């Protein structure tokens, strides 16, 4: 009888470890990928016509201090800086709310309590890996190469 009880105990422990391990990995991995501090590294402009890389620019000077920090509490801290190199002045959005929609590949940040349409900003996610986050936006002049197609401007962040 003792031998059967030991087998049953080991079977229950093994089964519970297998089941709890699978559900945690499956449900949290995509959502958790956004967590951490992401520093702005460079910009890439993609052609709206054929997706070719039209331009790449490294982030330098005060811009190297800019980051997003996504916390597991659903809060986001955005830090920006400006000024002449060596005399950077930084400012923060404070802790704002965010939602990362992994399936639709977008981050929605709520500023100032979400009281107006301007309080929400949607960041389309061009791509994300464990160390690199690419957020998409329109190119500053929308048609970087003057070919009649709106080009895409991507900000590349590196996780620290």
The answer on 37 and 20 residing in a single domain is no
CA end-to-end distance (rounded Å), the chain: 56
pTM over 0.85? The answer is no
pLDDT at 54: 95
Predicted pLDDT of residue 138? 62
Euclidean distance between CA atoms 134 and 44, whole angstroms: 9
Same domain, 37 and 13: no
Is the same domain home to 103 and 151? yes
- 92/111 same-domain check: yes
Are 77 and 16 in a shared domain? Answer: no
Q: Render pLDDT for 32-42 as a digit per residue (tens, 0 to 9).
A: 999 999 999 99
Domain identity same for 85 and 132: yes
**What pLDDT, on the 0 to 100 scale, is given for residue 64?**
84
Record the tokens describing residue 48, joined without a space.
């709206």
For residues 46 and 112, state if they share a domain: yes
The yes-or-no verdict on residue 62 having pLDDT over 90 is no
9 and 41 co-located in one domain: no
The pLDDT tens digits for 107-117 are 999 887 766 66
Same domain? 68 vs 85: yes
5 and 60 assigned to the same domain: no
Question: What integer is the mean pLDDT of 4-16?
Answer: 34
Write down the pLDDT at residue 31. Answer: 80
How far is the CA of 103 from the CAs of 85, 93, 116, 154, in angstroms? 39, 26, 26, 19
Q: Rounded to an integer, what distance in angstroms lies between the CA atom of residue 22 and that of residue 13?
A: 14
Counted domains in the chain: 2
Coil vs helix vs strand at 113: helix
Contact 59, 85 (CB under 8 A): no
Confidence of residue 85 (pLDDT cuts 50, 70, 90): low
Residue 77: give the domain boundaries.
Answer: 33-159
CATH number for the domain including 44?
Answer: 2.40.128.280
Percentage of residues of the chain with pLDDT beyond 90: 48
118 phi and psi angles, rounded to 5 deg: -75, -10
Nearest to 98 by CA among 116, 81, 123, 117: 123
Please tell me the predicted confidence (pLDDT) of residue 112: 72
């Amino acid at each position: 009888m003792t031998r059967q009880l030991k087998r049953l105990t080991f079977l229950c422990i093994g089964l519970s470890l297998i089941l709890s391990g699978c559900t945690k990995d499956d449900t949290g991995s995509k959502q958790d990928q956004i967590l951490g501090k992401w520093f702005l590294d460079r910009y890439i402009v993609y052609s709206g016509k054929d997706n070719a890389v039209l331009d790449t620019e490294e982030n330098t000077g005060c811009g190297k201090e800019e980051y997003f920090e996504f916390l597991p509490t659903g809060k986001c801290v955005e830090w920006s800086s400006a000024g002449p190199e060596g005399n950077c002045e930084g400012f923060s959005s404070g802790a704002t709310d965010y939602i990362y929609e992994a399936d639709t590949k977008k981050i929605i940040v709520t500023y100032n309590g979400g009281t107006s349409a301007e309080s929400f900003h949607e960041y389309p996610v061009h791509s994300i890996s464990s160390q690199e986050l690419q957020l998409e936006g329109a190119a500053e002049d929308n048609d970087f190469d003057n070919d009649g197609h709106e080009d895409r401007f991507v900000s590349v962040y590196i996780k620290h």
